[in-house]
Chains A and B, each alone.
Chain A
């Protein structure tokens, strides 16, 4: 059964720092991996989607990598800003294409 783990559970950094969020999964037979952002009381905003054949995706200050063989993905945030404060979730879509498993998330706080 696919398990998704995110470390750390919470992270607090000063503004301007570069940071890395980690996601690991136990079954490498994934269809794709997606990083989301969740603000308190709001829905999930999709940040980056990496297909199983890809190694990384970039969007602005965000860069996500995928190493399927080792079951790991990282989300790199450059020059963090207070507005980046949110919970970041990674999710894998399983090989069958329909089921998704989410991690518990990393709660990020960027202090001014």
Chain B
């Protein structure tokens, strides 16, 4: 059974389009995250959701919006895609923010904006 899953795995789209990436975790975790990995393999946190509340929001453009229909899902919606949005996006989850909070990551979604 996959712990953290993301769909799609690859996404190729034109500039200006709106797209969504879905994430689901079956671990019963309370917190989910979205990360953006750039070409230099730095992973920067974008969003964190804990019990359906947005906990942190880095300096991410408001074209990006996380949507959490329930505790097991945290989807990433992107409006008006730009070339610079091309990257690999990782979803992750953890039990909470306690001291034993190992993060479990999904396989990533490679987004290419043409």
The interface of chain A, by Cβ under 8 A from chain B, is: 31-32, 34, 36, 41-46, 49, 51, 87, 89, 91, 93, 97-100, 102-105
User: Which interface class (under 10, 10 to 19, 20 to 34, 35 or more) fits B?
Assistant: 20 to 34
CA distance A46 to B95 in the complex (A): 14
- Residue among B4, B56, B101 making CB contact with A43, cutoff 8 Å: B4
B28 to chain A minimum Cβ distance, whole angstroms, is 17
Q: Is B114 among interface residues, defined by CB-CB distance under 8 A?
A: no
| Residue of B whose beta carbon sits closest to that of A52 | B99
Is A104 a contact of B102 with CB atoms below 8 Å? no
Q: Is B106 among interface residues, defined by CB-CB distance under 8 A?
A: yes
Per DSSP, are chain B's interface residues mostly helix, strand or loop, or mixed?
A: loop
Chain B, residues 75-100, CB within 8 Å of chain A (1/0): the string is: 00000000000000010100001011
CA distance A103 to B42 in the complex (A): 6
Q: Is B55 among interface residues, defined by CB-CB distance under 8 A?
A: yes
Is B97 a contact of A98 with CB atoms below 8 Å? yes
Contacts of B99 in A (CB 8 A): 31-32, 51
The interface of chain B, by Cβ under 8 A from chain A, is: 4, 40-45, 48, 55-56, 58, 90, 92, 97, 99-108
A101 to chain B minimum Cβ distance, whole angstroms, is 8
Is B45 a contact of A100 with CB atoms below 8 Å? yes
Is A105 a contact of B90 with CB atoms below 8 Å? no
13 extra interchain contacts, Cβ-Cβ under 8 A, other than A100-B43, A102-B44, A104-B42?
A: A31-B99, A34-B103, A43-B90, A44-B105, A46-B102, A49-B100, A49-B102, A51-B99, A51-B100, A87-B41, A91-B43, A98-B55, A104-B40
Contacts of A46 in B (CB 8 A): 102-105
Known: A87-B41, A102-B42, A105-B41. A97 touches B97 (CB 8 A): yes
B88 to chain A minimum Cβ distance, whole angstroms, is 9
Contacts of A41 in B (CB 8 A): 107-108
| Residue of A whose beta carbon sits closest to that of B97 | A97
B56 to chain A minimum Cβ distance, whole angstroms, is 5
- Residue among B4, B56, B92, B108 making CB contact with A99, cutoff 8 Å: B56
Contact sample, A vs B, 25 pairs, CB 8 Å cutoff: A34-B103, A36-B105, A41-B107, A42-B108, A43-B4, A43-B90, A43-B107, A43-B108, A44-B90, A44-B103, A46-B104, A46-B105, A49-B102, A91-B43, A93-B101, A98-B55, A100-B45, A100-B103, A102-B41, A102-B42, A102-B44, A103-B42, A104-B40, A104-B42, A105-B41
